Structure 1
Amino acid sequence: MKFGKEFLSQMVPEWQEAYLDYNQLKTLLKEVSQVRQVEASDKQPSKFNRRGSLYRAFSGLTGGRSFQKLQEDAIHTNIIQRGSEGECYQSMLFTSSLEKGSEIEVDFFRKLDDELNKVVGFYKKEVGELMEEAEELSKQMDIFIALRIKVEKPDCSFEDSNEHISLTGIIPSSTSTSTVKSTFARTPGRSRKEVTQEVEMAEETSLEDAKSYRRKASKEIVQPTIQKLKPVSLELLPQVRINVQPETPISTLKCMVMSSTSQLSYSKTELRKAEELMTRALIEFYQKLRFLKGYSFLNKLAVLKIMKKYDKITSRKASKAYLEMVEKSPLGSTVEVTRLVERVEAVFIKHFANGNRRRGMDILKRKIRRERQGITFFSGFLFGCSIALVVAIILVIHLRNIFKSPGRVQYMDNIFPLYSLFGFIVLHMLMYSANIYFWRRYHVNYTFMFGFKQGTELGYWEVFFLSSGLAVITLACVLSNLDMEADPRTRTFAAITESIPLALLIALLCIIFCPFDIIYRSSRFFLVRSAFHLVCAPFYKVSLQDFFLADQLTSQVQAYRSLQFYICYYMWGDFIRRSNRCFQSKIFEAFFFVVAIIPYWIRTLQCLRRLVEEKDVEHVFNGLKYFSTIVAIAMRTGHDLNMGMIWRILAAISSAIATILGTYWDIVEDWGLLQRNSKNPWLRDKLLISNKSVYFVAIVLNILLRLAWMQSVLGLREAPFIHRQTLIAIVAVLEIIRRGIWNFFRMENEHLNNVGKFRAFNSVPLPFEYDKNEMRTRF
């Protein structure tokens, strides 16, 4: 793989604009190379070459340097102090004005200097923020240790465990790992993979003397800080307040009555919650440090690669002087970050891993999910099986002339809605699989935005495998149902034949809620937990994965109605004879309204919760949009059940309003498009897809597919060539496809907003609140 692609793949997506613009620098070098090639092809005989070199040697633009000296020392670097703005890094190219391409070379170094200053400025800013965060984490750790002593050993004085945590102190190296890391990080020309492997080997070597490491860490790291800084005494704990955010409906209701912060009660529950929050905070902080070290390494490697290309094209020796300037910059030395990394490791291993280094490092380091070739194979195999089953069902229907059989209407009214539920689920999973593929292709960091646990997120092949597997099982059940009904020998088993859809639904629910570690348990539980948050809305804090899932459920209204039909059909209907009186029941009609409104009502409550927390008026308009959709669905459902002219007019007006509001919000707010003054007319300034026509096609499709759900008010509920249930299923399928298209552009816009704010990490709430003035006297 070329370095440009490797460089892009190793970037932190949200920091992409802060990296060295390697592609633009390479483009400038290509222009220099083209000019050099033209110059080489237009060279005159050797006597003219000698005259040209003599003129060049006496040119005043070379500053009196000989031509040989010019080739060996092509640039001069300088570091300028600009007051409060910090240091500015500049280079000066020595060349003759008669050299072709000299202006482009000057532009190249000017661009390289600008990029280096940008990278150094971003790095210094991030390091400063991390140092401030480290100081706050040190104070939180001191309070946590005091709380642990108070809870676990209430009769113990603090002097018995005289320890102060300082993540920002000067730390003697306890092992040779940091030295090895620093040496590898400064070695030019090495790939990140090689460096990572050698660092990991060095860390594995140090595991043999882990006991001596912990002993040295406690003596060499903790003791020097004790001499300079006072520890937090137990007497200070009463002034500390627990800051546990409400995360359950019960805790939310309690916070409505009392303040969200309360005095410490020194209970084990508080200690357990504080330990959980501190663990998450240290892990997130550790990941920031590792990302920042990777950022420094990648940018130094990019400068090295681009300068080598320059030397090769121009036959100069400019890389040495420029790289020396880079090494003198903050980017060249990661001592502060390395110290923080070592200190966080020591603190985490001691206080959260019981001194077990291997276990502590396993928790701290992110796990990389590996693609399995078997999943790819079985995904293709199952997809092929599903295609074969579809062909088999079509042949059975054609050969047995089922379309003209007397039981056709009865089958479509009773059996087709049962199996269509699984069809909606399979289609939605296929669209999600396609979304993941395109998100990865265009480097959308969906795993970070959804909050997936590192190493447990599903790839597009895994989702495709699950959807293909469900499709094969469903189609096999449909085919067996048709075959058993047509075969005279199996007609006596009508109860078993008609129970196949119910058995399939029960099996699917058992798999989803299965507690055993099979079939991607972490992903299943993540889905169940998010669904539970929706059920308890607005008592849970609304996160992106929660309202994103709620938006998916708004496109599955027909699936909810199929579930409702399952209950009515198998509990109160005569499923053996394929007959039911569901639509003759007032209770069923009432729930026919309710189940369609539930997902939109959940989104309305989520908007209300976000309005209370964020005080943003935008959530008011978003909530009104969902409320208008609730009204439209109620009017359309009333029209479907009553078929009156008044209902039709009300349904048409409410649906038109809801469609206009929903379309505007999708395109302008969720996708961020239709910006009149953007760099890309009527789109937005930043786009991930280079082909702009894709966005306009998506806008048109969104409008057309939204109009599809207005078919019922136009009298198109039935057609002479298609059954009513089939038409309902087609409209539901179109809505699922529209939602799949919406998903990609919604997450693209969210990702670009994170990129614009360089937001690559989640904010983890800290467990304790305290008076900073009082704490300042203690630290």
Structure 2
Amino acid sequence: MMMRAENTIANLTERIDLLRSYSRLNHLAVAKILKKHDKVTRIGLSQVLMPEVSSQPFYDLKRLDALDDRLQTLIPPTNPSEGDQQFLKRLRYFREHMGGGHSKMLRGFYVGVSVMLMIDIIVLVCIPHTNPSFDEAAFFASLPPFRFVFMSTLALWGTGWAMNVMETYSVNYLFLLDCDPNIEVRSDTLFNIAALHTSLFILFFGLYVVDYKFAIFGDHEYYVAYPAILLFFWLVSMCWPHDVFRLRYRKGILLSLWRTIKAPFGGSVTFADNITGDVLTSAVKPLQDLALAFYFFSAPMDIARTKTENHPFLMPLIAFLPYWFRMMQCLSRWWETRETRHIWNFGKYLCGNIMVVVTALPLSEFPFFSVYTERLVWVFVYCLSSMYMYCWDVGMDWGIVSFSTTDHTGTFLSREHMLPRWMYGAAAFTNLIGRTTWALTLMPAHTVLKSRIGSQVLRTVVAGIEIMRRAQWFIIRCEFEHLTNASKYRSLLWVPPLISKEDLHATRKRMKPLFTVNVKSIAVDPSWGIKDTAVAAMNSVRSRGESYAP
């Protein structure tokens, strides 16, 4: 009997929370519709109607709060002791982090095996070759297509990890990014796609290394087939229809990318476009590798061997454009809101482009410049840009350190937070490490290390660190936006709860139509409006004696 009463109270409490969410969500929808109307017509209708909407009985949550308080009075007799509460807290933590243990164990096993296979491939790369026709220059010229696939796969793993963390701590990234509410793509979806790409990379890169260096399939000239086939399978897997990660969702990503690219020509900037622009700034090296891959397949091998990375115009342009897009987004946001913070954000990306320019220009050949002066300019711009971006990360994008003179200046994590406190400290430290290597993604690798092997290793490591740093940044950026609406992309502060994939399936099963209407049986006058048509439909339902199914 006691168990049944507890279950009833829990169910009622859950229903009250759902009603609160529905009320706030409807209020948010009306506010967004009126805001869009005012933006188009410039009438200011929201200033007149929103106070009236907020005063309606259906938005008044006092009755729900009173009912919730009455339910809470029934709970104290069954409340656990302080020790039991600590036990339940640990049990809840264990359930959240260890749930789905079978799939997590398999995923961990797969990642471990993949890492060991990659280490084996690295060892094979370091072993002296036995193929008499092996050409070291041609071998390194073929690395960009392999590295592009590897970095895109690492980005999938990083995005899946970020989604998994936000799903664990109920950060509603789907709502913040304006995703389809019915979307079923979750972290497991990206993990599965990343696992497929990882397997393809290990297979074809491993075969390429052992065949080209050790001629296990004999002496031939078809080694270029390995990166070509890998890129082909990568492209097919990205375009292949998927039951969960559907083509229209991938089209939405491309549309966000297109809005980011056309930011210099105007247009409203959404939070998703903001994230897309920032991701592009972290994808400089992979984008350069993609361009080098096209050059590798289109140019003769004797040219590709010597000029794969010697593009004094193309490589700096690819590094320059993502920061240019973000600069234009910041100007668009400033024009729309007139907030000074967007000008400061513009300056952050301007520093990034200055870094691109000073490393691309041969400053030592300019008058009054020497090699020493050139390196001094590099170091100065490098330190300025890195500190500027790091302070913006922890202060403005994450809000974990306040630089305000009126709000806990210099204090760490004085705001409300959803993640464990230690996670913010770890993120601040690792982000500092990532920012110190960030500028290296904008500099040609051969300017840092003259060794061909060293420059390739540096390029790969730095690009990988930047991708994982961006995934970590994405988690806390969404969490901060969820709690504070810091960038003011939303009309209201409230964010609906994140619904898991299992809950989404259960909700669909419970959903039933309130009533069904045979439209052909309703006589509708063409001159009627929406209200008259709706009344006719309701009268038709009543005349047939149909009832409203709960």
Please indicate the TM-score interval, normalised by the length of the shorter structure: 0.5 to 0.7
For the 8 Å contact 1:569–1:580, the answer to whether it is kept is no
What is the aligned partner in structure 2 of residue 309 from structure 1?
75
Change in Cα spacing, 1:742 to 1:489, as seen in structure 2 (3 Å) is closer
For the 8 Å contact 2:431–2:469, the answer to whether it is kept is yes
What is the aligned partner in structure 2 of residue 427 from structure 1?
154
Check if 1:700 corresponds to 2:429.
yes
What is the aligned partner in structure 1 of residue 544 from structure 2?
none
User: In the aligned structure 2, how far is the partner of 1:507 from the partner of 1:378?
Assistant: 24
For the 8 Å contact 1:603–1:626, the answer to whether it is kept is yes
Change in Cα spacing, 1:434 to 1:665, as seen in structure 2 (3 Å) is same
User: In the aligned structure 1, how far is the partner of 2:476 from the partner of 2:29?
Assistant: 36
- Gapped regions of structure 2 (runs ≥ 5): 43-52, 81-98, 498-550
TM-score by length of 1: 0.49
User: In the aligned structure 2, how far is the partner of 1:510 from the partner of 1:615?
Assistant: 44
- Give the residue type in structure 2 aligned to 1:705: G
Which 10-residue stretch deviates more, 292-301 or 412-421? 292-301
Change in Cα spacing, 1:393 to 1:300, as seen in structure 2 (3 Å) is farther
Check if 1:601 corresponds to 2:336.
no
User: In the aligned structure 2, how far is the partner of 1:468 from the partner of 1:569?
Assistant: 27
Change in Cα spacing, 1:411 to 1:671, as seen in structure 2 (3 Å) is same
SS in 2 for 1:727: helix
What is the aligned partner in structure 1 of residue 462 from structure 2?
731
- Gapped regions of structure 1 (runs ≥ 5): 13-18, 21-118, 141-241, 246-259, 263-284, 315-370, 763-779
Change in Cα spacing, 1:714 to 1:645, as seen in structure 2 (3 Å) is farther
TM-score by length of 2: 0.67
Deviations 1:485-520 (A, max 9, x none): 24547345423x213213322433344345786853
User: In the aligned structure 2, how far is the partner of 1:732 from the partner of 1:11?
Assistant: 47
What is the aligned partner in structure 2 of residue 535 from structure 1?
261
- What does 1:2-17 align with in structure 2 at a 5 Å threshold? none
User: In the aligned structure 2, how far is the partner of 1:600 from the partner of 1:612?
Assistant: 18
Q: Aligned Cα RMSD in Å?
A: 4.9
User: In the aligned structure 2, how far is the partner of 1:548 from the partner of 1:465?
Assistant: 23
Which 10-residue stretch deviates more, 515-524 or 734-743? 515-524
What is the aligned partner in structure 1 of residue 224 from structure 2?
498
- The alpha carbon displacement at 1:244 in A equals 10
User: In the aligned structure 2, how far is the partner of 1:378 from the partner of 1:434?
Assistant: 15
- Give the residue type in structure 1 aligned to 2:424: Y
User: In the aligned structure 2, how far is the partner of 1:4 from the partner of 1:536?
Assistant: 54
Deviations 1:596-647 (A, max 9, x none): 1111111111111111222222111111211111011221233699894443
For the 8 Å contact 2:401–2:410, the answer to whether it is kept is no
For the 8 Å contact 2:148–2:289, the answer to whether it is kept is yes
Deviations 1:153-172 (A, max 9, x none): xxxxxxxxxxxxxxxxxxxx
Change in Cα spacing, 1:690 to 1:482, as seen in structure 2 (3 Å) is closer
What is the aligned partner in structure 2 of residue 544 from structure 1?
271
For the 8 Å contact 2:416–2:483, the answer to whether it is kept is yes
For the 8 Å contact 1:679–1:685, the answer to whether it is kept is no
User: In the aligned structure 1, how far is the partner of 2:372 from the partner of 2:79?
Assistant: 79
- What does 1:101-120 align with in structure 2 at a 5 Å threshold? none
User: In the aligned structure 1, how far is the partner of 2:28 from the partner of 2:281?
Assistant: 44
User: In the aligned structure 2, how far is the partner of 1:295 from the partner of 1:380?
Assistant: 48
SS in 2 for 1:420: helix
User: In the aligned structure 2, how far is the partner of 1:382 from the partner of 1:9?
Assistant: 41
User: In the aligned structure 1, how far is the partner of 2:234 from the partner of 2:456?
Assistant: 23
Which 10-residue stretch deviates more, 724-733 or 3-12? 3-12
User: In the aligned structure 1, how far is the partner of 2:191 from the partner of 2:166?
Assistant: 15
What is the aligned partner in structure 1 of residue 144 from structure 2?
417
- Give the residue type in structure 1 aligned to 2:437: A
- Give the residue type in structure 1 aligned to 2:494: R
User: In the aligned structure 1, how far is the partner of 2:401 from the partner of 2:12?
Assistant: 29
- What does 1:41-120 align with in structure 2 at a 5 Å threshold? none
For the 8 Å contact 1:7–1:298, the answer to whether it is kept is no
- The alpha carbon displacement at 1:657 in A equals 1.9
- The alpha carbon displacement at 1:435 in A equals 1.0
For the 8 Å contact 2:177–2:272, the answer to whether it is kept is yes
For the 8 Å contact 1:639–1:713, the answer to whether it is kept is no
What is the aligned partner in structure 1 of residue 548 from structure 2?
none
Change in Cα spacing, 1:619 to 1:448, as seen in structure 2 (3 Å) is same
For the 8 Å contact 1:449–1:544, the answer to whether it is kept is yes
What is the aligned partner in structure 2 of residue 592 from structure 1?
315
SS in 2 for 1:738: helix
User: In the aligned structure 1, how far is the partner of 2:316 from the partner of 2:278?
Assistant: 19
Bigger radius of gyration among the two: 1
User: In the aligned structure 2, how far is the partner of 1:5 from the partner of 1:701?
Assistant: 44
What is the aligned partner in structure 1 of residue 94 from structure 2?
none
- The alpha carbon displacement at 1:594 in A equals 0.3
- Give the residue type in structure 1 aligned to 2:160: S
SS in 1 for 2:221: helix
Number of matched pairs:
447
